[in-house]
Chains A and B, each alone.
Chain A
């Protein structure tokens, strides 16, 4: 039982980390149709900036400052990238992907050039490095930090999208960008805003990822990005709540599979989950397995009824 509780809570923590990464990705993709490959690079840079702050200041204050620094660095980086590179390529999604791919290769290499390829320990304040007993399980404290952060982000993003004027514009832009432009609203400003928000979330995820793993390395962000992609595909790209649920599912599946099946199987379980979801999802023009099953059963029933009538 205690193992199960531990796995569930750490799965929640992992899901929270995935959600923090995937939410920024899904927001940017939902509005702008840009698959932001540089998201992982934002994560890495923010994590390094945060690490620098946390090591110089130290303690819980250092961590809070590091979170702020990370989010700020992510925001600034995202805005620079959007203004300088992405903006020129609107309406050309393929080129936008290519540019972000280029950045995703360049930025980690740059980080590696300055800070070396080896992973570094992330300073975790002693208040957060212990464990808490929950129902007989010793759960690391930092998992709760991640869960709380993810819930706050989820509520914040939902409030922003549902209650503010900018959120309205963003939602309308996701729905039909051209109509919003036609109504005289400057969508490009919303684009920058969403990119900034995505960058801030990436920054936050970078810092909390450092806290979660206790270390950071130049290619950590890119490795995490792939799981964020999986989360975004499973959750659908246009609903932040869907992304949250799918992040949770992926985190739990990974933890359970790692323990109950075999160590290291979790990553496969996630990919298998992805394949199952992809195959089961009804797509336009093709029938889902459920409807196929219905159709297979329906004729028989029809035959049975017609056979029974005369």
Chain B
């Protein structure tokens, strides 16, 4: 639980996170804080750590509550089933945050994030079963090796940016697909093919095994989320984070100002990949194994959906999106096979039994109706509309000049 304590201290000690946060990374360019603005700045700074602390407090008390919420959960809050669901939700909140580092913060549309998640999960499992390592050394080895690989693949993927962001998207997609095919082909009987790999029980601490110990999975997932949030929020508020944001908004200007966009993008890619690798390790433990589904590009697309649903580039958006998506995915799956839906005519009940149909439609609607994501829906509407107006005033023009000069 060292991660939790470091994160709680990192939360308040995260000074610039407050102005950039409080909702969004794409906030108005804050000049020197003077007068009223300065007051707001200081207030914002204080508010900046109250919310994470409150959320963390609730999450810390959750496993001790025997509260029963009839429609929303199957059993009491601290039952094994609910805790498993919560652990998965928190894990995906963290994974979505790591993805948002690329998509929301830096504007890099990667379709290869799943490669690193699956790499973390499969790599750890293989390091444990083939090299006889225990969980922690295996995880560390995989994160280090995977980060080196991410550095290499990221450098290749970022070379294609001459095609615009789309080249990057496609090349990361191709790499992820290659990894996915490799996993499904079951080379040398290593990856278990379609079935995936079950978690090697001997190599991991006893605390993570058995239904009675589900609460420890919850703590593990919470620790991962807190660590990821601390890293992402601190990194986004650091000088490098400001450059990432600048790369997102206007890459040309960044290079004109003498910063190397390539190096910054590679840096953020490796950081996000390292977090994803770690997430893969947690995924392996929480789901007690790994299936090829975790390596498919579709897995990355669901992360993208989570981030956009919640609010890309915002402080809480990816977490909200990830938690909500996984929760709905599970509950809709349960609802789809319930009697109420079964009794509907087939034409209606069949799509309802596929959670992805409902979630996909929700997602498409959200792109139109809540463009900033749920984290910004109904949140300071005045400011948002002002920003939207500013964006429409300057957006297309900026886009045109950028495009015109790249051609």
Contact = CB atoms under 8 A, between A and B. Distances in A.
Contact of B178 (A102, A267, A283): A267
Interface stretch (B29-37, B46-54, B74-82, B161-169): B161-169
Interface in B149-178: 156, 159-164, 166-167, 169-171, 173-175, 177-178
A271 B356 contact: no
A105 B356 contact: yes
A228 to B, nearest CB: 10
Interface in A22-67: 29, 33, 35
Interface string A224-235: 001001101100
Contacts of A83: none
A285 B298 CA distance: 34
B357 A91 contact: no
Interface in A69-113: 85, 88-89, 91, 94-95, 97-99, 101-107, 109-110, 112-113
B371 A105 contact: no
A48 B130 CA distance: 44
B343 interface: no
Interface string B304-322: 1100100000000000000
B91 interface: no
B170 A232 contact: yes
A284 B166 contact: no
B361 to A, nearest CB: 6
Given A106-B364, A113-B354, A101 B305 contact: yes
Contact of A110 (B175, B182, B185, B351): B351
Nearest to A274: B174
A284 B304 CA distance: 30
Given A109-B356, A109-B360, A230-B174, A95 B367 contact: yes
Contact of B364 (A33, A99, A112, A226): A99
Contact of B177 (A35, A91, A232, A271): A271
A109 B354 contact: yes
Interface of A is mostly: helix
B136 to A, nearest CB: 32
Given A95-B371, A102-B360, A105-B301, A113 B353 contact: yes
Interface in A215-272: 222, 226, 229-230, 232-233, 237, 264, 267-268, 270-271
A264 B170 contact: no
B170 A114 contact: no
A43 B367 CA distance: 24
A113 B174 CA distance: 28
Nearest to B347: A114
Contacts of A271: 174-175, 177-178
Interface string B164-200: 1011011101110110011001000000000000000
Which of A104, A229, A270 has the largest number of chain B CB atoms within 10 A?
A: A229
Interface in B354-407: 354, 356-357, 359-361, 363-364, 367-368, 371, 395-396, 399-400, 406
B328 to A, nearest CB: 14
A85 B181 CA distance: 32
Given A106-B357, A110-B354, A229 B156 contact: no
9 contacts: A33-B164, A98-B367, A105-B360, A106-B360, A112-B354, A226-B173, A230-B174, A271-B178, A281-B162
Given A101-B305, A102-B367, A233-B160, 8 more contacts: A29-B166, A95-B367, A105-B356, A110-B354, A178-B400, A233-B170, A267-B177, A271-B174
